[in-house]
C-alpha cells in the first residue's frame, strides 16, 4: 500500500521550469507542502501564487553552499521537517564537444549538475537523520545508460549523480534515509534549447513530457519507508 503524502514536506531544487516545476505541482496535488528553489525568483513566485497555502519559495543558486544551507534552514523554519528532497537542477552547454569544451565551462557545468547536488545532500542530511527517515531523489539522464553526443561534461556530471546517490544510500540507510536516481530519456524541456542543433518537431512529438517524470517521482515517494527504488529508467516509448 502506498503512503499518503498528506503532511509531507518536500524541497524541489530546480523548480523554475520543466521536470522540477511539474514535480512540485504533482507533490502539492498529492497533499505535500513544497519549498521550491531555483535561481529565477519570478518563476518561483508564479508557483507560489498558484498554491499559496502549499508552496513557499526560496531563490537559490545551488553552486553557493551558503545559499543551499539557507534553503534548508528556511524550509525547517516554515514546516519543521523535510521528508523529501528532489534534485532537478541541470544544465548543458551549446559548445559541448571536447574540441570546444574549456576548463572553465567544465567547472561551471559540474558545479550546477553535480556539486550542487552534493551541497543539497549534505545540507539536508542532519534534519533527516534527526527524523529517522528521508528520501532524496536525483533526476539524472538516460545518457548514463546510452552514451550520446550530449557532451562529456554533461555525461560525467550525470554519472556522478549515480555515485552520489548510491554512496549516500549505503552510508545513511541505518538512519532511515533512502535515495533514488531517475534516468529520463529525451524530455521536452528548456535544456533542449541549448543543443547546438535544434531538435526536430517530429522528434519532440515523441519525447517525454515533464509530467511523466513527475509521475515517476510520485511513484517512488509514495512507497512505504521499508522499500527503495535505487534506480528507475524512464524512456520515450517511440524513440
- Model pTM? 0.95
pLDDT in tens, 95-109: 888 999 999 999 999
Residues 201-218: tens digit of each pLDDT: 998 899 999 999 999 999
Residues 16-44: pLDDT tens digits?
Answer: 999 999 999 999 999 999 999 999 999 99
Q: How far apart are CA 44 and CA 122, in angstroms?
A: 24
Dist CA 196 CA 128 (whole Å): 41
197 or 168, higher pLDDT: 168
Map out the domains of the chain as residue ranges: 9-234
Compute the mean pLDDT over every residue in the chain, rounded to the nearest whole number: 94
Q: 3 pLDDT band (50/70/90 cuts)? A: low
Question: pLDDT digits over 57-78, tens only?
Answer: 999 999 999 999 999 999 999 9
Burial of residue 156 (CB within 10 Å: 0-12, 13-18, 19+) is middle
Architecture of the CATH domain 9-234: 3-Layer(aba) Sandwich (3.40)
Residue 1's pLDDT band, with cuts at 50, 70 and 90, is very low
Amino acid at each position: 500500500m502506498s503512503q499518503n503524502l498528506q503532511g509531507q514536506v518536500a524541497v524541489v531544487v530546480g523548480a523554475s521550469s520543466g521536470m522540477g516545476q511539474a514535480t512540485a505541482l504533482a507533490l502539492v496535488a498529492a497533499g505535500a507542502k513544497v519549498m521550491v528553489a531555483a535561481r529565477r525568483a519570478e518563476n518561483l513566485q508564479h508557483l507560489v501564487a498558484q498554491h499559496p497555502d502549499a508552496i513557499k519559495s526560496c531563490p537559490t543558486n545551488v553552486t553557493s553552499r551558503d545559499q543551499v544551507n539557507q534553503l534548508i534552514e528556511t524550509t525547517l523554519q516554515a514546516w519543521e521537517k523535510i521528508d523529501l528532497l528532489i534534485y532537478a537542477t541541470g544544465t548543458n552547454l551549446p559548445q559541448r564537444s571536447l574540441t570546444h569544451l574549456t576548463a572553465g565551462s567544465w567547472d561551471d557545468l559540474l558545479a550546477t549538475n553535480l556539486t550542487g547536488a552534493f551541497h543539497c545532500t549534505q545540507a539536508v542530511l542532519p534534519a533527516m537523520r534527526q527524523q529517522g527517515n528521508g528520501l532524496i531523489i536525483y533526476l539524472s539522464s538516460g545518457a548514463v545508460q546510452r552514451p550520446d553526443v550530449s557532451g562529456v561534461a554533461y555525461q560525467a556530471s550525470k554519472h556522478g549523480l549515480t555515485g552520489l546517490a548510491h554512496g549516500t544510500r549505503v552510508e545513511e540507510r541505518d538512519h532511515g534515509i533512502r535515495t533514488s536516481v531517475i534516468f529520463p530519456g529525451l524530455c521536452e524541456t528548456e535544456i533542449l534549447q541549448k543543443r547546438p542543433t535544434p531538435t526536430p518537431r517530429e522528434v519532440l512529438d515523441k519525447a517525454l513530457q515533464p509530467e511523466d517524470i513527475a509521475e515517476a517521482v510520485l511513484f517512488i515517494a509514495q512507497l512505504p519507508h521499508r522499500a527503495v527504488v535505487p534506480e528507475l529508467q524512464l524512456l520515450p516509448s517511440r524513440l
